[in-house]
Structure 1
Amino acid sequence: MKFNNYDLAKNLWGVDENNNTWENIYLVTDIEMIDVSYDRLNKILGYKDNYVIQGLQVLDEIKSNKLFEVLELYNYSLNEPVSIDDYKNTLSNLENADKLDTEYMARRRKEQSFLRNYLFGNDKYFECGICGEKFPIDMLITAHIKKRSYCSNDEKLDYKNIVMPMCKLGCDDLYEKGYIFVDGSGNISLNRDRPITQKISQYVDPIIGKRCKYYNEQSSKYFKANVDRHKIEV
């Protein structure tokens, strides 16, 4: 969060010799201390081996993206605002991007930020679209109902119908791997062709038969595409 407040800044830090203070303020959350050696940092950023960073250094987007990926710093619970036009451009640029390139990862994060903002807004907790349980949003995936890599660009742009939240505690994997699916009536069903262990049964038994609230006339074709991909007999 960013804001401007002279009185707060004056109270916190006082003023300089001209009675000015540092009133442009930003707030941060989820602070995490990390310890990275110069050797490792220099290799990630492409600096000389003996380079020593001194003081505050603001990295450009490419170097920042490298650090995000290698050090796993990106927090999907804090989403940057992304406009619909920016989202469309991002998807268009992803089509021909090198998946190992840092720019590709930056665009994928931008895509995720747009979708997470659409699904969760400013909520801190949200319900899984499969089990219906409420979770902190960093425990939820913005899952494509039809596998993302199988979607056309037009289907990816249909974000109001192609994505839904699924929890990391099991629903995302179970749906993605075809253990459970949403049938033509919008109900969550068990794929009996998959090997089901006792632990999986304990997890899915309370879910089976529930209606998926993300099933509707527009999204039904994407749920069917997932059924067809796993060759599930309905």
Structure 2
Amino acid sequence: MRIVMQPARRSQKDVDQHYQDTIVHPVSFDDHADVLEAATVDQLKQLFPDGQAQMWGITPGKKDINVSRIKKMRPGDWVFFSGDKRIYFGGTIALMWRNKALATRLWGTDAAGSTWEYMYALSGTRGFDIPIQEIREFLDWNPNRHIMGITVLSQDESDALQTFLTLDASPAATAEPADTQDEEATVAAFDGELERTAYRAQRGEQATLKKRLLQGPTGQCALCGRDLPGSFLIAAHIKKRSMCTDDEKRDLANIAMLACTLGCDAVYEHGYVTVASEGVLQVSPLAAQVPEVAAYIHDKLTGRTVTWWTPKREPYYEWHRSHTFKAAPPT
């Protein structure tokens, strides 16, 4: 999976209108069947059974400058929309195709007479509110670097951002199968240390945290409130550990909470729930897309207030809300 940076500054009137027309209001396939190829309609309906999808497009650019970049994009890649110094929206490329007639109908043409004919449909979309400066610092970019055109990040940068923002897979057209034999050969040939010292140190830190949080053989899950044996509880970092500073990692009194392995740790880690100010447990509107997750949240978490919330822990919970929580896409 690669990550694509899509500049789309909504403070520009035409960009915001395009966003309203085909992101806020998904495109109905049947309404445009006269300009869509039958094979594309079939693929779209397989991916989106309700008959509509959020869509975006890219122009070829002057002297086709964007075409070589577009060729690097694949279904299954993540796209982040950026503008006005922030990342505000993202999702998985479900399908890509080229259709000048449909793009012109949806968005018209730009000042040069071009249209956004390299089109893609998005699945699993969610909202973000992350300053682009934070991304620059995380990826060690030049402080003055701007996302001026469609940009496909390297695999290393993509992997780092995927971990940073806990990006989950969403429906996408079938990509080329991985070469399993090559992957297995690479693993077999690796003679380095599989159990690295850093990981052992992290496990030691986890044990220390758990001892601090768990005062006896049983404890209370911060999210569902159930009293459980210690073997079913972990010291879960409120803010993703890999993104904490050294000082934050050492803030043992505030950086973590007990979360049960019976479901709460997973739904928090993947952003289906978060903790709002004053401890109110907030459920992602996207949880309904995964019925099993929605059922667990309904049975165990809906309406709860998290007693572990404190003003000192609030900065860590706030980070989770802006980086991990699956917020609704902005309108």
- Shorter chain as denominator, the TM-score bin is 0.5 to 0.7
Partner of 2:199: 105
Q: Which of these residues, 261, 273, 279, is aligned with residue 186 of structure 1?
A: 279
Contact 2:278–2:310 (CA under 8 A) maintained in structure 1:
no
Per-residue CA deviations over 1:149-204 (Å, capped at 9, x if unaligned) read 11111111111111000001110010000001111231111110344333323211
Q: CA deviation at 1:105?
A: 3.3
1:223 alignment partner, SS class = helix
Q: CA deviation at 1:209?
A: 2.1
1:193 alignment partner, SS class = helix
1:175 alignment partner, SS class = helix
Q: Which of these residues, 168, 172, 190, is aligned with residue 265 of structure 2?
A: 172
Aligned length: 136
Contact 1:99–1:105 (CA under 8 A) maintained in structure 2:
no
Q: Which of these residues, 117, 120, 127, is aligned with residue 214 of structure 2?
A: 120
Q: Which of these residues, 135, 153, 156, is aligned with residue 228 of structure 2?
A: 135
CA distance in 2, matches of 1:179, 1:99: 35
CA distance in 1, matches of 2:193, 2:287: 31
Per-residue CA deviations over 1:118-146 (Å, capped at 9, x if unaligned) read 0113x111111000011111111110000
Q: CA deviation at 1:104?
A: 2.5
* TM-score (norm: length of structure 2): 0.38
2:279 alignment partner, SS class = coil
Runs of at least 5 residues in structure 2 that lack an aligned partner in the other structure: 1-191
Q: CA deviation at 1:221?
A: 0.8
Alignment of 1:1-234 (within 5 A): 100-121=194-215, 123-205=216-298, 206-230=300-324, 232=327
% same residue: 30
* TM-score (norm: length of structure 1): 0.53
2:307 alignment partner, SS class = coil
Would the alpha carbon gap of residues 100 and 195 (structure 1) be closer, same or farther in structure 2, given more than 3 Å must change? farther
RMSD (Å) for aligned C-alpha atoms: 2.2
Kindly report structure 1 stretches of 4+ aligned residues shifted beyond 6 Å.
Answer: none
1:165 alignment partner, SS class = strand
Runs of at least 5 residues in structure 1 that lack an aligned partner in the other structure: 1-97
Q: CA deviation at 1:214?
A: 1.2
Q: CA deviation at 1:117?
A: 1.0
Moved more, 185-194 or 140-149: 185-194
Higher-strand-fraction structure: 2
